[in-house]
Structures are given as C-alpha cells and as structure tokens.
Structure 1
Amino acid sequence: MSTRRKAANGQPAPLTATMPSGTIRTTPAARSPFFPTRLEALLLGIYPATLVLGSVLSTLTPAFRNAPYSPDLQSHDPAFAPTYFAKKKNIFNVWFVKKGWGWATIAFAVFLLMWPGFGKGLTTKRIQATLRYSVITLWWFFVTQWFFGPPLVDRGFLFTGGQCEKLQDPSAMEGMSDTRVYLTAAACKRAGRKWTGGHDISGHVFLLIIGSALLWFETLPALTRFEGLRDGRRIILDDGKVASVAVEKSPESENDEPTRQGVPMPLGVAVFMWWMLLMTAAFFHTWFEKFTGLLVAFAALWTVYFLPRGVPAVRAVLGMPGV
C-alpha cells in the first residue's frame, strides 16, 4: 500500500529541490516511469488508430479505391480526387496543415498566457512549459525545415536511395559536390520535379501528431479533475525511489470549480488537427510513410513528456505539465 510523503509542515514533500510541491506517494515500481498512464495511453493510441481507420476507409470505400493514385504526387490525381479533402490544394490543407505549426504555436501561446494554473507573472511552471514547447519546436524544425543543411525528412529520403529526377542521369551528377547534390534534391519538389527512389517520411502525419499531442499534454491538467484521471504518473526521485505524482491543485480550484480560461482554442486546434490527420491517412502517402511519420513524432513526445519522469536532472529543467 502506498504511503504519502509529508514534510515537517504537513504538506507533501517536494519532488526535487527545483520543482513545486504536489501530491506525491511512494509506490511499488509496477510500471516504468517512462511508460504512459492509462489515460495517456488511450490518448496516444488515437493516433495509430486514426492511421489505420484512414487506410481502411481508402481501401474499402469504392469511390476512394477506384480513384487513380499517383506515387509521385503522393495523392490521388487531382482530376479524379474522390473528395474535396483528397486534393492537395484544398483550403484546409493549404491554410491549416501547411501552416500547422503556426496554428499550434498560437493555440499554445493563448493557453500559456490565459490559464490560471500557471500562476501570475513569469512563474517556474510557465517557464518550463515554454521550454517544453521550445524543444518540440526544435525537433519539428530539424525534421521538416533544416538540419545543418537539408532537414531530416530530406536526408532520410536521400539516405534510402532517393533522388530528384534530374539527377538520375549520371552525366548530370558529374562535377557536383555532395553539398550541391543535397541542395538540389531538397529543392526538387519546390521546383516541381519528381522526387523518386527513396522513402519519404510523411511530414504531414508528423506535424499533425506532434502539434495536437503538444496541445493535449499541456492542457490535460486543466481538464482532468477526477482522482482516477489525475493520479498515476510515476517518477524517479533524486534518491532513486519510485513515486506517483498527481496534478497539483492550483489556487483557483480551491472552490472546486476549475477554470477553463485559455483551454478552448488549443482543444479546438487539436481536434481539427486530428480531423486533418484522418484525411491525410485516407488520401495521402503510403502506409509505411505514414507509419514512420508517427514514429518520428512519438520520439519527440517521449523525450519531452516521458523522459523527464525517469531522469530527475531533465525534470528539473523541463518539469511536468500540471506539477
């Protein structure tokens, strides 16, 4: 049976010297601190389930199955697209998905500034939430925008044998430095040329998962009030013991009426990102391209939201949402 750790003043003992106090109990190590709680597992399970659902829809629906699919375009032929959402130039894809990180940033900023659970002013909780967002943003930037040259998506494509069609002619490669080859390949799609021969991680799947999960994980403390939902996150303390930590009650919840200020916008953006993920799963990319997009997104989420639970030094910097 777990026991509650108390300080001399009767309040829960602090998690570390640099973290605010919260509800903390020593507990048998029945589950690794690096693993999600049941609620988090259900939340994360939505993403692979959505990819499977989209693939099933595209396979079983006659209109979707019979529409010509172009591997080079990674989408259905625009002239025969089965629905409006199957067209790359649909307004939601152009103005929401392609600008998805901007929408996620705006939604996160609204939550960061408005939710009373962060306290007033430049609090430790607010700083740590900003650091978590910054690490996720850096990973997004490395994967999709730039990684000491071409982004990781383009480097992965080239590493698996991909080339721009212009470079398939050996004579076109003569006299070109490795840097020139990389830059030409990275700009291939922007120039309207075919991008063939390698594995292309789905940048849309990656973006939509990492953006919506960021918003979900950060807003969960504002949504989970029941004990069964709040408890269960296991951590490793500085002394090596395993403990269970819950969402800390913030001052505005003393009257048992939680404040939802700043929450509707991030939730709305997260839900719409899920819808566009379903559309991407149904109409764009191959199954393996979507699966690798999922894995790359999950790698960042594990680093930011699960690694700190088992490594006190990382937790002292990034903290944990709601604690």
Structure 2
Amino acid sequence: MSARRKAATANGQSAPLTSTMPSGAIRTTPAARSPFFPTRLELQLLAIYPGTLLLGSILSALTPAFRNAPYSPDLQSHDPAFAPTYFAKKKNIFNVWFVKKGWGWTTVAFIAFLLMWPGFGKGLSVKRIRAMLRYSIITLWWCFVTQWFFGPPLIDRSFLYTGGQCELLNDPSAMEDMSDTRVYFTAAACKRAGRKWTGGHDISGHVFLLIIGSSFLWFETLPALTRFEGLRDGRRIVLDDGKVASVAVEKSPASEQDEVTRKGVSLPFAVAAFMWWMLLMTAAFFHTWFEKFTGLVVAFLGLWVVYFLPRGIPAVRAVLGMPGV
C-alpha cells in the first residue's frame, strides 16, 4: 500500500498523507489532545514509574527495619553492616551484574526483538532501520547523562554546578601538587583517587538507567503487545498539511497473532520487568527522594524526544518513524 494513500475524515472527504508517514490505521481527528502528549495506554505505562518511586519511599519510611537502619549520604545507601535486606547492599549480585550493566542487558534484549519480531519485515527494512535510529539516540542520551558529555557526563556536571566537588579539592596542600589536568571533575576519577564526591546534588543514575532502559523496551515492544491484545492506542500526529490525525497499530490477522507475540518479545519483557523490580529496590534503599525524582525527569526527557516529539514534527518523524507503523 502506498505511503501516500488517503486518510478518511469524518465527513467522508480525504486528507493527503505525506510520503514520510508510514502505513497504519489513520484518520483525521479533532485536536482534543496534543500529539506531544501520551495516549491513555502510554500514560498508564509511564505512571508506573513515579508510582514505583513513591511506593519504595513509603516502604522505606514505614517499615521499622528500613527506618532504623543507618543511612549514609556519602554512600547513598544504608550502612552495609546494618543493611535491612540483601537488596539494600550495593554489592548485591543483582546490582553488580544487572543494574550496573543495565544498558548492556537493554541492548541484548532490543537486538533479540529487532532480529526476531516479524513486524519489522524482512531484511534491512525501513521499520528496522528507524528502530535502530531510535535505539541510537536513546543510547546517546544514556551516554551523555552517565558516561561522557564533551568531558564529564551530565550527572557529574550537575553535581559540580550545584556546589559539589571532590574532597581532595578542599585540601590546599594536596592541590599544590596537582596540575589542571589532574583536577578530579568526575565522580569516578575522585573515587579512584580514594576521596569522596561530596557537596552537590547527585541525579540518581540508577533511577535514570532503570527507567529509560525499561521504558525504551516497552515503547518498542508495545505495538506487538497491542496487536496481540487487540488494543488501539490512537497516537495523534501532525501531518505535512498541518492537520491532526490519529494513527493506530495495524492489527495482525488472528492466525498471526501468536507468532507475532512469541517471537522476540519474551526477553525484552523479562528485562523490563526485572528493571522495574530493581527500580523498586532502588526507591526503597538508595538515594534521597529528590535525587530519585531528578533521575526520573531526565529519563522522561529522553523518552519524550524520541517517542513524542516526532508525532508533532513530520520532518523528525520521517527520520525516526514510530514503533509499529
């Protein structure tokens, strides 16, 4: 079917569809909801994350064992000697081998979905290429926030801008022997020097990673799940002519639904679900409330750019596309 097919309107006329718009169930609709806002289904999905942070904080505040365990601001966790549960220890196996390597697990799960899900078509299809572009941008945002941003990552820059520094910088005698290139401007470099990274606001990297990783997997696999369940998400988009249209995931024939859901979706679903569990553990045992909140905001910002901005700007949508259409 041509990408320039006509979209039926309520009065029986048709509105032109640009060549950048992928196939899907499309109809023009009154602009009751901005294309930049999530659908009801997406809103329910996104609401899980602040709800999880709130639930974890409530558990931490109301449970005597959690409340009485000493909390160390420097460690951003409970004192290991008095940790209320195994999950409250930073060196628990799930934190070391899953959370700290979370983007690797996200990547493996996405590659499995990318290679196995029949909805992408055969070979290097346009849908598959656009999915890879979305992954690349989300990965770039993860890198900017946690690894590198033309120098220190955004998490470390925000820490410095809010008054934080390496403890070594408070020692004039130690500073005398340091060149400008040896000044510790990142948390990792400071810790390698055996000092503490103190004084500023630390955006929770764990919260950021767990939210953006699991949300990315959810948004990419949601079309497969909505096909199987027969849900219509009704995402609104702006067409090239400025009209607002509603586009829903094309529903597979009944004979194909089991295959579509089975292939490639199980691993992303499992990784996203375990990320949610570790987010709950992080909410209960690590970081302050404000540190967790800013991690949530920074994660949502990256998701909005990749999954909601293209709906209102056809030129961006022509490059990144939309999952499932």
TM-score (norm 2): 0.91
Q: Is 2:110–2:217's contact at 8 Å kept on the other side of the alignment?
A: yes
Structure 1, unmatched stretches of 5+, are none
Q: Distance in 1 between matches of 2:317 and 2:64?
A: 50
Q: What's the counterpart of residue 39 of structure 2? A: 37
Q: What's the counterpart of residue 154 of structure 2? A: 152
C-alpha deviation, 1:194, in angstroms: 1.3
Paired residues, number = 314
Q: Distance in 1 between matches of 2:105 and 2:45?
A: 21
Q: Distance in 2 between matches of 1:96 and 1:226?
A: 29
Deviations 1:245-273 (A, max 9, x none): 001245xx363634220000000000000
Deviations 1:140-160 (A, max 9, x none): 001111111111111110111
Q: What's the counterpart of residue 257 of structure 1? A: 257
Deviations 1:189-224 (A, max 9, x none): 344421110000000000000000000000000001
Written as runs of structure 1 = structure 2, the 5 A alignment for 1:160-175 is 160-174=162-176
Aligned to 1:239, the other structure's residue is in SS state coil
Structure 1: 4+ residue segments shifted above 4 A? 12-15, 174-179
Written as runs of structure 1 = structure 2, the 5 A alignment for 1:271-310 is 271-310=273-312
Deviates more, 1:108-117 or 1:172-181: 172-181
Q: What's the counterpart of residue 223 of structure 1? A: 225
- In structure 2, the CA distance between the partners of 1:161 and 1:233, relative to structure 1 (3 Å rule), is same
- In structure 2, the CA distance between the partners of 1:247 and 1:282, relative to structure 1 (3 Å rule), is same
Q: 1:62 aligns with which of 61, 64, 68?
A: 64
Q: Distance in 2 between matches of 1:249 and 1:14?
A: 23
- In structure 2, the CA distance between the partners of 1:84 and 1:23, relative to structure 1 (3 Å rule), is same
Structure 2, unmatched stretches of 5+, are 1-5
Q: What's the counterpart of residue 99 of structure 1? A: 101
Q: Is 1:221–1:322's contact at 8 Å kept on the other side of the alignment?
A: yes
Q: 1:268 aligns with which of 267, 270, 294?
A: 270
Q: Is 1:15–1:21's contact at 8 Å kept on the other side of the alignment?
A: no
Q: Distance in 1 between matches of 2:139 and 2:17?
A: 27
C-alpha deviation, 1:185, in angstroms: 5.2
Aligned to 1:45, the other structure's residue is in SS state helix
Aligned to 2:190, the other structure's residue is in SS state coil
Q: What's the counterpart of residue 25 of structure 1? A: 27
Q: Distance in 1 between matches of 2:229 and 2:7?
A: 18
C-alpha deviation, 1:186, in angstroms: 4.7
Deviates more, 1:84-93 or 1:230-239: 230-239
User: Is 1:125 paired with 2:110?
Assistant: no
- In structure 2, the CA distance between the partners of 1:192 and 1:272, relative to structure 1 (3 Å rule), is farther
Aligned partner letter, 2:257: E
C-alpha deviation, 1:66, in angstroms: 0.3
Q: What's the counterpart of residue 247 of structure 1? A: 249
Q: Percent identity?
A: 83
Q: What's the counterpart of residue 114 of structure 2? A: 112
- In structure 2, the CA distance between the partners of 1:215 and 1:14, relative to structure 1 (3 Å rule), is farther
Deviations 1:78-101 (A, max 9, x none): 000000000000000000000000
C-alpha deviation, 1:188, in angstroms: 1.2
TM-score (norm 1): 0.92
